[in-house]
Amino acid sequence: MFPNKIDPSKFNISDNIIKGTRAWCSPVTYDGKTLELITPIMTLAFPLSSYQYPGKPKINYSISVELDSNNPNYKSLNQVIQGIDANTKKTFESDLSDHQFISSVKYSNNGKYVPTLRLKMVSNSHRFKCVIKRNGEYVSDEIEPVKRLLVKGVKLKLKIQLNPIWKVNKKYGVSYQVLEMDVMDPPNNKHSDNPKPKPGYNSSPFRFART
């Protein structure tokens, strides 16, 4: 779904909180379904990021894309993200009054830099669990080749999903993950070190419903 088609009245933050030993999450739906958004063309602010949680062996990945509020193409997406943040804080302002809210949007302290939107890239030990394309053509979703594509400044077409609201260690917030990514080469750089998949190769076993 495109951000300019969103009706804020159709959002619902579930009361059915899924609790763990140290954290919980609260599912969010839009018109009864998980929200999937098709973004305008985005600019990658930094190379692919990786991080690990203390005591956990798994490596996690994310990207940060520029979210320029002065760009009219981003206006609808900005409004949707800000609306979800505001609705989340309003919903939990009583129950989590002593918790810090964490947005997926990061702002520079002095306002010198463009805000960025952080997006999770879910993976197993070898592959990303999302569809990866380059200039509209499917390519390998293996982690190492994708790393080489995701350099600072590259342009991306994205399909993203709103994840459940999370809470852990006196913090709570909103997060998004990448479902589909199309890496767009500049016109003078069409060759790739991320080869096309062989005939019959299924780059990802994950398929997503149309919106």
State pLDDT tens for residues 109-157: 887 889 999 999 999 989 999 999 999 999 999 999 999 999 999 999 9
The total number of structural domains in the chain stands at 1
What residues make up the domain containing 26?
3-184
Is the Cβ–Cβ distance between 176 and 120 less than 8 Å? yes
* 204 within domain boundaries: no
* 201 within domain boundaries: no
* 19 within domain boundaries: yes
* 176 within domain boundaries: yes
The domain spanning residue 106 has which CATH number?
A: 2.40.50
What whole-number distance in Å separates Cα of residue 107 and Cα of residue 115?
Answer: 5
* 191 within domain boundaries: no
Confidence grade of residue 101 (pLDDT, cut at 50, 70, 90):
very high
| DSSP designation for 22 | S
* 193 within domain boundaries: no
pTM above 0.85, yes or no: no
* 208 within domain boundaries: no
* Average pLDDT value for residue range 150-167: 94
pLDDT on residue 13: 83
